[in-house]
Amino acid sequence: MKSLQGHTARKRFGQNFLHDAHIIRQIVDAISPKNTDHIVEIGPGLGAITEYLTIDAARLDVIEIDRDLIPRLQEKFGMNSQFQIHESDALKFNFAKLLDKSNNPASSQLRIVGNLPYNISTPLLFHLFSFPGLIEDMHFMLQKEVVERMAAPAGSPDYGRLSIMAQYHSKVDMLFTVPPGAFNPAPKVDSAIVRLQPYKQPKIIAKNVKHFEKLVTQAFTQRRKTIRNSLKTMANTEQLEHAGISPELRPEVITLTQYVTLSNLLQQNNSN
Ligand code: SAM
C-alpha cells in the first residue's frame, strides 16, 4: 500500500488509484495537453494524472468528492496559479460555470479527463452530454465493457442505449485497454481509455433530445422482442414503417439515424 501515501481507498467512491507510470504516460500522451487548454479532471484522487496536467494546461480545474483528499491535492498542486480544486459531486456539478469569461484566459471550451469510478460512469456521461457546445473532448478510463458498449455499432450484441446516446452526441474511439494490475487496489475487471469528441454539427438532429432518449430507453427495455412490441406504447406499425423501420426487427439492429427519424416523426405528429 506504499503508493496510497497513507490514504485508505474508499470503495463507495470507487477508488482505484493508478500507479503504473507507463500507463499514466500513455494516458497523458493520448490527452496531449496544450498550453492553451482549459482542462477539467474529474476525481483526481492522489493526483497520478493531475501531476502531468498541471505542467501543460493554461487552466486546470479538478472536481473531487472525497474531502479527505482535498488538503493533499491543495498541498501538492495549490502553488500553481492556474490550478483550482472543487470539492463537489461531479454528477451535480455545473460545468458551465467554469467558462465564466471574466476569469478565464484559456480556450473557450473544456477538455474533460478522468479515471472514473465505475458506479458513476454512465450517469456522469449523460450529465456531461447535457452541456452541448461546452466540451471540446473527453478522455475517460472506464470499465472495458462500458467502453465496448459505447463504441458498439448497430447489429452487435453490445449495442444499446449507451451506444446510441454516446454516438448521437460524439465521435467515440476506444484507445487502449488497461489491466487491473495498473491500479491500487486492483479492480476485478479490465479497464479501457475512451476518447469522446462531441460533434459541433451533429450528423442528424433530434428535435427533442429528451424524447429521443426516452424512445431509445423504451426500445431496449425488451431487447429480445421485436421493435413493434417494445415500442407499442410509443409508436404504431405505420409510424415505424414511415421512419423506414421494419416492425419485425429487433431493437439492436436499428440504427441511430432510424431512431432519430422515428423520434422526430412522433414529435411532429404530436405538434400537429
Ligand atoms: N485519478 C486518480 C487516479 O487515476 O489514480 C483516482 C481515480 S479513482 C478510480 C476515482 C476518483 O474519483 C477518486 O478520487 C474518488 O474519490 C473520485 N470520485 C468518486 N465519485 C466522485 C464524484 N461523484 N464526483 C467527483 N469525484 C468522485
pLDDT in tens, 89-115: 999 999 999 986 655 555 689 999 999
In a domain, 218, yes or no: yes
77/147 same-domain check: yes
C-alpha cell at 135: 466540451
249/148 same-domain check: no
| C-alpha–C-alpha distance, residues 52 and 47, integer Å | 9
Boundary-marking domain end, from 142, 169, 198:
198
36/171 same-domain check: yes
In a domain, 248, yes or no: yes
pLDDT digits (tens, 9 = 90+) for 53-73: 998 889 999 999 999 999 999
Looking at the DSSP bridge assignments, the partners of residue 40 are 61, 112
Per the annotation, binding residues for S-adenosyl-L-methionine are 16, 18, 43, 64, 89, 115
Boundary-marking domain end, from 143, 175, 198:
198
pLDDT digits (tens, 9 = 90+) for 148-159: 999 999 999 999
Q: Is the pLDDT of residue 272 over 80?
A: no
C-alpha cell at 14: 470507487
Under the banding of pLDDT at 50, 70 and 90, the label for residue 223 is: confident
187/214 same-domain check: no
What pLDDT is recorded for position 1?
A: 44
| The amino acid at 209 | V
Boundary-marking domain end, from 176, 198, 220:
198
125/175 same-domain check: yes
Ligand 1 atom nearest the C-alpha of 114 is 1
Q: Is the CB of 37 under 6 A from ligand 1?
A: no
165/262 same-domain check: no
Average pLDDT over residues 70-95: 96
Q: Give the relative orientation of helices 256-271 and 161-169 as an angle to the nearest 10 degrees.
A: 80
Domain that holds residue 230: 209-271
In a domain, 66, yes or no: yes
User: Distance, CA 221 to ligand 1 centroid (Å)?
Assistant: 30
What pLDDT is recorded for position 2?
A: 43
Q: Is the pLDDT of residue 231 over 90?
A: yes
pTM: 0.94
97/143 same-domain check: yes
17/133 same-domain check: yes
In a domain, 25, yes or no: yes
> Which residue has better confidence, 49 or 132?
49
146/179 same-domain check: yes
What pLDDT is recorded for position 244?
A: 96
User: CATH number for the domain including 18?
Assistant: 3.40.50.150
What pLDDT is recorded for position 268?
A: 85
Residue among 42, 49, 40 at smallest CA distance from 19: 49
User: Distance, CA 31 to ligand 1 centroid (Å)?
Assistant: 18
18/65 same-domain check: yes
Residue the block writes with cell 478510463: 141
C-alpha cell at 225: 422482442
In a domain, 203, yes or no: no
User: Distance, CA 42 to ligand 1 centroid (Å)?
Assistant: 7
Q: Give the relative orientation of helices 161-169 and 144-151 as an angle to the nearest 10 degrees.
A: 70
Sign of the Cα torsion 114, 37, 127, 29 reads negative
38/169 same-domain check: yes
In a domain, 135, yes or no: yes
Cβ atoms within 10 A of the Cβ of 21, count? Answer: 10
Domain count of the fold of the chain: 2
In a domain, 204, yes or no: no
In a domain, 81, yes or no: yes
User: CATH number for the domain including 224?
Assistant: 1.10.8.100
165/187 same-domain check: yes
Average pLDDT over residues 186-214: 94
What pLDDT is recorded for position 271?
A: 67
